[in-house]
Amino acid sequence: MPARPCPCGLPAPYDDCCGRLHRGETAAATAEQLMRSRFSAFAVGDAAYLLRTWHPAGRPARLDLDKRLRWTRLEVLEATGGSVVHTEGTVRFRAHYVERGRPGEMEEHSRFVRLDGRWVYAGAL
């Protein structure tokens, strides 16, 4: 059986791509990689990873994912900063989903910061 592709859109199997981050085997090297891994976490239903990678200042106490939404595709539209040498970065993206058989999309310009050496989601701009 072929490995399932990673929901983040990169040409790699989930287990070798975002799955490694979700399992805690490695941390995101860039803000874009964290954003992609967070999209994948929504797609596979990994609320614990989403909470772990959310800045404590804005992190909700709990996260209940909507099981009626199926996240289907990610488009990275723009990224600024967020490389291995930065401490802040932004990523603008469009996330596609299906809800009750109807396609939809949402767009966000997200801010990411390094906290204790790791990238975390700091909210929408």
Sites in the chain below the pLDDT cut of 70: none
* pLDDT score for 51: 98
Indicate the CATH number of 14-124 among 1.20.140.10, 3.10.450.50, 2.40.50.140, 3.40.640.10.
3.10.450.50
Name the residue among 68, 1, 81, 69 with its Cα closest to residue 39: 69
Considering the entire predicted model, what is its pTM? 0.96
Helix (H, G, I), strand (E, B) or coil at 125: coil
